[in-house]
């Protein structure tokens, strides 16, 4: 079968699905949907459909983004758009199916919105939802819409037309098109994709490698996982385009072992590609041949660094190497090697298909296109989003995210993972692009965006990131290996209330040395979390040092739990739950916490019924 026929068949199949006479239920079945319980919902639907003799088609899709509403389902009835429902439980589903599928009531009170052509009275379009309406979905266009295990779904929605078009162009023309698009690496550093490619393209070699970096190591970031789980073919098509442009004949996907579902989806997708001659020799009848292998990362953050990743692919310890030589000239087994991030690759097919100029129409002056972010932390609407670069932080956190959870005061947003920094509330109007984030002493990074509220201690956050880096430092160069350890010790000292003012200067001087003298990006950016929090929140460090207090009530050594005599109703729940036996009191009488027994686990604080709110955290009692 040639590609035109494959495409015709795929389109027919897709039409058959979206205009199915039989009701279709799409299940949001990415990792987050599964964690939230979609499998139990699916099981219940199967049971109910038997009981009620309903004929239902079940289709698993990826994640559309509003993870806080998981598990999500979409019910599509013939002649109507799909209706999306959130927070579905096995208990809720039966009534919903009866109401909608039997009694024709789509339950607007439960619906989040409609998806697809047409309208249903009383239900807005899903993309009117505040979490979705500010988004521009180029790379996530299929996530949550198609079944990621059906290559035909991808093909029906313009899939593999990008590589088809690229194969009709010369590799240099492809590179030029990517240059016009202005796309910069989405893995963090923001290096122009075309520039990297051109270097490799110009090197003569029988073997060249293109690696997809799916070792999404930044804690608090899951954009790549979601894309690979929801639309693996988009990334694979990008790999084909990149490989054609640089002249690579071998491809690797280096992916974290912690992402089993994404790995499964990729393996499945690769076998489908082979059956359609989209992989192997003479792809789509051209002279271009390429193969792809999956390499599972074994848990080392530093392997996100290119030279370390290459060492790991070759079965060695993942330790960075000095450059030059640059990987584009000498990488895997000494051959020219390019490493591109999942999202960069996931965008390429659309760029080639619709043209670089079209893509460059999105975004800001030096940061073109869109970027995905995982919006998490202390924010109301958590999930995966995609916005044009240049969108202000305010839009992301307040309009899309709905502000902080529990309406606490917004304090800062952490971007760029362990290499990034905390951007304070004063800079909320900052546009999100590579340059602006750098000017605020943070970085874009791969797209983690962690919202911090007044209950987050910045000293604790800085020490969290530093302890992460310290544990992940490969140990090759001493500024990183020893320097981060010494910085971490100082932070621990400050957190425990034993810090001195001179420690702040020591931190800054160490940070400068580590940034200058470390071999690779991990070390060079390691002190950023400390430097940015010191820049914007110095007074909070001083509170820990001078007042021996933690204003956010986080640092264990500086806080204590007490029970308010006035508020405590003596219900006894805290006494029952206290693992240390530190709480005493008679029924209906105010309880007391014995400080010498208290382990500060916080259980009493969490279990005290909200109507009493009698357990309190205090700080500043040491001076």
User: Is the separation of the CB atoms in 349 and 237 below 8 Å?
Assistant: yes
φ, ψ for residue 384 (rounded to 5)? -105, 130
Looking at beta carbons only, is 519 or 603 nearer to another protein? 603
- Which tokens hold the place of 407? 């309406």
d(CA 32, CA 381): 14
List 234, 384, 491, 510, residue binding another protein (CB under 8 A): 384
Q: Is 318 in the site for another protein (CB under 8 A)?
A: yes
List 10, 24, 25, 32, residue binding another protein (CB under 8 A): 32
To another protein, the closest distance from the beta carbon of 410 in angstroms equals: 13
d(CA 212, CA 313): 12
In order, the DSSP letters of 440-486 are TT---TTSEEEEEETTS-HHHHHHHHHHHHHHH--SSSHHHHHHHHH
User: Is the separation of the CB atoms in 328 and 203 below 8 Å?
Assistant: yes
Instruction: Give the per-residue contact string, 208-247, with another protein (x = CB under 8 A; - = no).
Output: --------xxxxxxx--x----------------------
φ, ψ for residue 32 (rounded to 5)? -70, -40
Q: Is 300 in the site for another protein (CB under 8 A)?
A: yes
To another protein, the closest distance from the beta carbon of 62 in angstroms equals: 13
Q: Is 597 in the site for another protein (CB under 8 A)?
A: no
Q: Is 38 in the site for another protein (CB under 8 A)?
A: no
Residues 358-377 that bind another protein (CB under 8 A): 374-377
Looking at beta carbons only, is 318 or 369 nearer to another protein? 318
Q: Is 386 in the site for another protein (CB under 8 A)?
A: no
d(CA 264, CA 255): 11
d(CA 61, CA 573): 42
Q: Is 474 in the site for another protein (CB under 8 A)?
A: yes
Q: Is 579 in the site for another protein (CB under 8 A)?
A: yes
Q: Is 450 in the site for another protein (CB under 8 A)?
A: yes
| Side-chain half-sphere exposure of 365, counting CA atoms within 13 A | 3
Q: Is 477 in the site for another protein (CB under 8 A)?
A: no
Q: Is 61 in the site for another protein (CB under 8 A)?
A: no
- Residue located via tokens 């958590």: 382
Closest CA to 32 of 264, 296, 261: 261
Q: Is 191 in the site for another protein (CB under 8 A)?
A: no
List 43, 47, 333, 613, residue binding another protein (CB under 8 A): 333
Helix (H) or strand (E) holding 76: strand 73-76
Looking at beta carbons only, is 99 or 291 nearer to another protein? 291
Q: Is 410 in the site for another protein (CB under 8 A)?
A: no
Q: Is 380 in the site for another protein (CB under 8 A)?
A: no
Contacting range for another protein; rule: CB under 8 A; set: 166-174, 365-373, 447-455, 485-493: 447-455
To another protein, the closest distance from the beta carbon of 65 in angstroms equals: 9
To another protein, the closest distance from the beta carbon of 577 in angstroms equals: 6
Question: SS3 string of 89-120?
Answer: CHHHHHHHHHHHHHCCCCCCCCEEEEECCCCE
Question: SS3 string of 194-238?
Answer: HHHHHHHHCCCCCCCEEEEEECCCCCCCCHHHHHHHHCHHHHHHH
Site for another protein, rule CB under 8 A: 31-32, 34-36, 67-68, 70, 216-222, 225, 256-260, 295-296, 298-301, 312-319, 333, 374-378, 382-384, 414, 417, 448, 450, 452, 456, 461, 464-465, 468, 472, 474, 577, 579, 599, 601-603, 606-607
């Amino acid at each position: 079968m040639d590609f035109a026929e494959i495409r015709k068949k795929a389109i027919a199949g897709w039409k058959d699905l979206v205009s199915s006479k039989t009701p279709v239920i799409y299940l949001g079945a990415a990792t987050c949907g599964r964690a939230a319980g979609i499998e139990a919902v699916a099981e219940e639907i199967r049971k109910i459909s038997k009981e009620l003799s309903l004929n239902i088609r079940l289709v698993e899709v990826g994640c559309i983004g509003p993870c806080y509403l998981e598990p999500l389902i979409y019910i599509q009835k013939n002649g109507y758009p799909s209706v999306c429902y959130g927070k579905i439980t096995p208990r809720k589903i039966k009534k919903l199916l009866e109401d909608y599928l039997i009694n024709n009531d789509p339950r607007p009170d439960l619906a989040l919105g409609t998806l697809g052509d047409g309208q249903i009275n009383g239900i807005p379009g899903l993309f009117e939802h505040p979490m979705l309406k500010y988004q521009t979905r180029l790379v996530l266009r299929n996530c949550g819409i198609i079944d990621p295990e059906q290559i035909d779904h991808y093909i029906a929605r313009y899939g593999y037309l990008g590589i088809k078009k690229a194969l009709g162009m010369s590799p240099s023309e492809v590179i030029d098109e990517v240059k016009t698009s202005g796309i910069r690496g989405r893995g963090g550093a923001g290096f122009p994709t075309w520039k990297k490619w051109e270097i490799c393209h110009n090197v003569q070699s029988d073997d060249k490698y293109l690696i997809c970096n799916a070792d999404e190591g930044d804690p608090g970031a899951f954009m790549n996982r979601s894309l690979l789980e929801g639309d693996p073919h988009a990334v694979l098509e990008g790999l084909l385009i990149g490989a054609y442009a640089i002249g690579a004949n071998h491809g690797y996907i280096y992916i974290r072992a912690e992402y089993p579902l994404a790995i499964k989806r990729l393996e499945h997708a690769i076998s489908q590609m082979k059956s359609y001659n989209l992989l192997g020799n003479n792809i789509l009848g051209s002279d271009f041949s390429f193969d792809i292998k999956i390499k599972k990362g074994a848990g080392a953050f530093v392997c996100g660094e290119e030279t370390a990743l290459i060492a790991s692919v070759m079965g060695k310890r993942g330790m960075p190497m000095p450059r030059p030589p640059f990987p584009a000239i000498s990488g895997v087994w000494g051959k020219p090697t390019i490493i591109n991030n999942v999202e960069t690759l996931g965008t390429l097919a659309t760029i080639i298909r619709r043209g670089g100029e079209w893509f460059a129409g999105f975004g800001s002056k030096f940061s073109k296109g869109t970027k995905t972010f995982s919006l998490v932390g202390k924010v109301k609407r958590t999930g995966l989003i995609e916005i044009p670069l240049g969108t202000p932080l305010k839009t992301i956190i307040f309009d899309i995210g709905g502000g902080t959870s529990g309406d606490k005061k917004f304090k800062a947003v952490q971007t760029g993972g362990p290499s990034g920094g905390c951007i304070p509330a004063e800079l909320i109007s900052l546009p999100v692009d590579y340059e602006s984030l750098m000017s605020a002493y943070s970085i874009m990074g791969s797209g983690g965006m962690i919202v911090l509220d007044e209950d987050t201690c910045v000293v604790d956050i800085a020490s969290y990131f530093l302890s992460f880096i310290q544990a992940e430092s490969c140990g090759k160069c001493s500024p990183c290996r020893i320097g981060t350890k010494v910085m971490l010790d100082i932070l621990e000292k400050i957190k425990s209330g034993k810090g001195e003012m001179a420690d702040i200067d020591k931190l800054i001087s160490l940070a400068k040395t580590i940034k200058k003298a470390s071999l690779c990006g991990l070390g060079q950016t390691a002190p950023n979390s400390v430097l940015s929090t010191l820049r914007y929140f110095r007074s909070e460090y001083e509170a820990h040092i001078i007042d021996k207090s933690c204003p956010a009530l986080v640092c264990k050594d500086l806080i204590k739990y007490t029970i308010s005599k006035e508020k405590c109703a003596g219900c006894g729940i805290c006494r029952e739950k206290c693992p240390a036996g530190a709480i005493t009191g008679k029924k209906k009488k105010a309880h007391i916490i014995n400080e010498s027994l208290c382990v500060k686990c916080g259980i009493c604080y969490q279990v005290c019924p909200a109507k009493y709110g009698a357990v309190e955290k205090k700080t500043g009692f040491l001076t």
